[in-house]
Structure 1
Amino acid sequence: MKSAKTRQIISRCALMHNLNDLTCDVIIEHSKPRLVEKGEYFFHQGEDATTMYILLSGRAKLAQVTQAGNQVIVNYCRAGDGLGIIVALSHTVYPLSAEAVTACQALSWQREIIEQLMLAHPQLAVNGMGMIANRFVKLQDRFQDISTRRVEQRIARALLRLVRQFGKKVAEGVLIDMPLSRQDLAEMTGTNLYNVSRILSEWERAEWVCSQRQRIILCKAHELVVLAEDLD
């Protein structure tokens, strides 16, 4: 990608907030390109955290395996999102895995490089801490959802989050523009495939959603908002 286009994309990342174009260019110059094919991994949970990334294109999935062996999908990422920011703030292991849901292009920085850049540009370090704090708050919100909300609400809220990230207007409504299976939804919402299939089938009969193989369209998003927020 051309530098101007690359800068435009990575400037969306919270790590780059309040940095001028010259500083962004310096940070880009210290990066290396990375191409990750669909189904391949940027990194695996438990590996030494040595490299962080910012997506330039494609979709990636962040997931964690529990001690019981169950997979939990923590988030999905798109162009402009950062992966592995823990690298810059702690010498530790990756707490989760990052898998390419589609073919992805990214820029990567080794831990030593990003540490040097943060020392030279303190705003970069401040932004990194802000990203970690923001993700911590989101994880708390997800934990609260699972602890206090009905499964129908959790699924509705998950779909609405994905629409905000990946929504694309189509004739039938709003398409979640990325591969998304019912098993994925189960792993996002702390439930099982049976419950997701049952609930989506009910919503299809009510014409709230249109569900095909790894493709979900919200036809009546307002109904899902009412359910998600427990409105009258």
Structure 2
Amino acid sequence: NLTPKDLRQVIVFQHATDDDLKSILENGITRSVEEGGFFFLQGDPANYLYVLLGGQVKLMQSNPSGQQVNLRTISPWQMFGALGAVRAEATYPASAQALEDSTALAIKGGFLRSLMETRPYLSFDLMHLMTSYIQEMQARYRELATERVEQRIANALLRLAGQTGILSKKESGIELSFSRQDVAEMTGSTLYTVSRFLSEWERRGIIETGRQRIKILQPHNLVRIADGLEK
């Protein structure tokens, strides 16, 4: 069973009282989604916000022609779909797809809005979370406008390592559960271009790739590529 201590791992709830957290847990619903399924779709009413309890979730947007852009990957104890807590009658600006079997705590946006009206620390912590997302998107826009494609790919891998990377237990390296197509969508590049650079970096021992998997073996060299110090 979830406890207030568990929920305090969520950035937005780090300053909440035990009574507040108990109330959130009492009003929350646990939802499980199988790999490939969706917690919500772009354009759906944003009635709930979610705290991921286990698994991994990809947030992505689609344009009218069906092209997809990966916005962010969510790891356990991160919040997603929080727009409903900020504005009534909002819709989700992106879809949330499970990259593996995933479970999340669904919290009604209206309930959290009512809590925030009398608990300013919740509002400040939510604002801090959203500000960090805005800063990340600004950095990605700057990369698209000013950096070479290999720098964008390296930056994307480093960003993913910070968000969702898992240290390999069997051998050194940081495991990422992403495909080359995922990286192409994140960097505004093509599958061919991403594959060309990843193959070159694998030949040099910087990374190792597999099916739906990328392992970073030499993060320091990846940082040098991201900084434009080498290709």
CA contact (8 A) 1:172 1:217 kept: no
- TM-score, normalization: structure 2? 0.92
CA offsets, 1:12-70, max 9 Å, x none?
A: 22211222333222221211111111111111111121111000111000001134431
Q: Describe how 1:131-146 pairs up with structure 2 within 5 A.
A: 131-146=129-144
State the match for 2:9 in structure 1: 12
| Partner Cα separation in structure 1 for residue 186 and residue 9 of structure 2 | 25
Provide, for residues 102-144 of structure 1, a one-character-per-residue CA deviation record: whole Å limited to 9, x for no partner. 1111111122222222224232222222222221121111111
Instruction: State the distance in 2 between where 1:120 and 1:17 align.
Output: 16
Identity across matched positions, percent? 36
Q: Structure 1 stretch 46-55 or stretch 129-138: which is displaced more?
A: 129-138
2:147 to 141, 146, 149: 149
> What CA distance in whole angstroms lies between the structure 1 residues aligned with 2:229 and 2:114?
50
State whether residues 84 and 110 of structure 2, in contact with CA within 8 Å, keep that contact through their aligned partners in structure 1.
no
Partner of 1:74: 71
Query: What is residue 198 of structure 1 aligned with on the other side?
Result: 196
- Residue pair 2:15, 2:121 contacting (<8 A) in 1 also: yes
1:182 equivalent in alignment to 2:180: yes
- Residue 80 of structure 2 corresponds to 83
Specify whether residues 10 and 176 from structure 1 end up closer, same or farther in structure 2 by C-alpha distance, changes over 3 A only. Answer: farther
Task: Assess if the C-alpha contact under 8 Å between 2:82 and 2:109 holds in 1.
Answer: no
User: How far does residue 196 in structure 1 lie from its aligned partner after superposition?
Assistant: 0.6
1:34 aligns with: 31
TM-score (norm 1): 0.92
Q: What one-letter code is carried by the residue in structure 1 that aligns with 2:16?
A: L
Q: Pairwise CA RMSD of aligned residues? A: 1.7
Q: Is the 8 A contact 1:167 1:174 kept in 2?
A: no
Which of 214, 217, 222 aligns to 2:215? It is 217
**Whole-Å Cα distance in 1 between the matches of residues 7 and 226 of structure 2?**
32
Flag structure 1 segments of 5+ consecutive residues without an equivalent.
none
- Say whether the 8 Å CA contact 2:208–2:216 is kept in structure 1: yes
The residue type paired with residue 3 of structure 1 is: L
* 1:210 and 1:219 in contact (8 A); partners too: yes
Match of 2:110, SS? helix
Question: Number of paired residues?
Answer: 228
Unaligned runs of 5+ in 2: none
Distance in 2 separating the partners of 1:159 and 1:227: 11
